[in-house]
Structure 1
């Protein structure tokens, strides 16, 4: 595995924003990663403190007119969860870095109609209607936020998790710590552990150093803060992520785009595809699906394919 991912490469200049690309797609498509407190990471089983719910709302990040906004508190962070009613098991949609729940606005009503399932979307910390919290991005803290929200909403087992891009990291930690909470998953051009060899991490960081330095010179925008937050924890977080495994008890469909986040770098795009293929072969119950002709934003470019794969997983695991 490592021989494939660490093979000798030329030293071409990579496309800009690859620090975000490997977690969130291009800057224009997906933006940065959500900042969360550096020292507030907790185990994914952390208990929620309190929650409130409201009637249907016209929140800017709301993905569906039929959804209800629930503001849930986890370790001082107020997080926005949007629930479209239906039967259990719930289908949970998690967008890539820099994106809030509105990313799924076109898919949610179609998915609800096709499956009759409860559909849950949410805004990670710093995005949409959720609180912005300073500090390096922490994937375990993000996983704790998602688990707390689901449990507060009554989802304690058998959820079908749909995770795009950077959300693949959240899904991997959440599912590894709580395999009974997730009955199956669809990982949509997701950030996967196999991609993050030391050489690839170093390559991505070096390619993005000028832009990170520029963001630090003027950190006043949310996009700059998100880029800085991602950069501050990027190396140790992804070194650790490279060692994480998906539990064999949870089936997963691995969708990979044809163009990947590295459309301008064929070599790195192939490494991304190789990582998806290796992940799919690494355990039982894993299926690899290629979204032909799609950019990294498969839910936008190939929504029917994403809908079909979610329906299959929900029908099997329901």
Structure 2
């Protein structure tokens, strides 16, 4: 099967979205969801070393990278609708394996709740979700964002609103393989390292087949600092999804 990349722009509700897609020999497509205010180019070094057996889909959310701005609300439920529309427009069919970073995990989490049969597993990189819906919490990339990004990607209030939407619609993922990767070198002042790790451990209750890994030599951008760990996590989730027999993960304490 050809692994040629297709780079296309699709218009959804009046907004032009930039996408990049290749098909894989296994029929499974990895759908990548970047962090707050971050373009899909953040994944380029990581996806360069992913085998052709996996399809890959990346895109820029509205107002980010090569995508146009949208007049629609910028809460997670709207962004999930846009993702679903893009996958349909690009003819990217399930099954999907979701990989998301930080704020992107909110979108992935809500997407998985809506489309559980279509998603075979998830890898969450330093996710900005869990028991963190309080007024002081800000994802690291949101803290660094300028006003223009907040106008296009969403304000802190919309971020908290997205967390509440996810909390209201959260369903148990049953045996969906789920791996949470936490950074080992945090710099943000808004949460202590222990609070951050506790938030991540709380996510593990969403699946009967979940695991946690701390990337001790990584900053918030684990996929940049230790991409080999992310590659292994993707393959671990893929193997677990294929077997669906005994849990393959062991939490790292």
**TM-score, length-normalised on structure 2?**
0.82
Query: Which secondary structure state, in structure 2, belongs to the residue aligned with residue 132 of structure 1?
Result: coil
- Give the distance between the partners of 2:192 and 2:72, measured in 1 at CA: 29
Q: Give the number of the structure with larger relative contact order, counting CA–CA contacts within 8 Å between residues 6 or more apart.
A: 1
The Cα of 1:122 is off from its aligned counterpart by 0.8
From the superposition, tell whether residues 142 and 66 of structure 1 become closer, same or farther in structure 2 (CA, over 3 Å): same
Taking only aligned residues, the RMSD between alpha carbons, in angstroms, comes to 2.7
Q: Which residue of 1 aligns with 2:241?
A: 317
- Give the distance between the partners of 2:54 and 2:89, measured in 1 at CA: 18
Asked whether 1:182 is paired with 2:119, we answer yes
Asked whether 1:270 is paired with 2:203, we answer no
- Give the distance between the partners of 1:147 and 1:96, measured in 2 at CA: 18
**TM-score, length-normalised on structure 1?**
0.66
From the superposition, tell whether residues 124 and 224 of structure 1 become closer, same or farther in structure 2 (CA, over 3 Å): closer
The Cα of 1:245 is off from its aligned counterpart by 4.1
How many equivalent residue pairs? 234
Q: Which residue of 2 aligns with 1:225?
A: 151
Q: Which residue of 2 aligns with 1:255?
A: 181
- Give the distance between the partners of 1:145 and 1:304, measured in 2 at CA: 30
Listed as ranges, the gaps of 5+ residues in structure 2 are 139-143, 243-253
- Give the distance between the partners of 1:277 and 1:224, measured in 2 at CA: 28
Equivalences for residues 232-247 of structure 1 within 5 A? 232-243=157-168, 244-247=170-173
From the superposition, tell whether residues 183 and 282 of structure 1 become closer, same or farther in structure 2 (CA, over 3 Å): closer
Equivalences for residues 126-137 of structure 1 within 5 A? 126-134=63-71, 136-137=73-74
Stretches of 4+ aligned residues off by more than 6 angstroms? none
Asked whether 1:92 is paired with 2:31, we answer yes
The Cα of 1:238 is off from its aligned counterpart by 2.8
Equivalences for residues 1-318 of structure 1 within 5 A? 67-87=5-25, 88-111=27-50, 114=51, 116-134=53-71, 136-196=73-133, 201-204=134-137, 222-223=148-149, 225-226=151-152, 229-243=154-168, 244-260=170-186, 263-265=187-189, 267-317=191-241
The Cα of 1:133 is off from its aligned counterpart by 1.5
Assess if the C-alpha contact under 8 Å between 1:91 and 1:314 holds in 2: no
Listed as ranges, the gaps of 5+ residues in structure 1 are 1-64, 206-210
Assess if the C-alpha contact under 8 Å between 2:15 and 2:68 holds in 1: yes
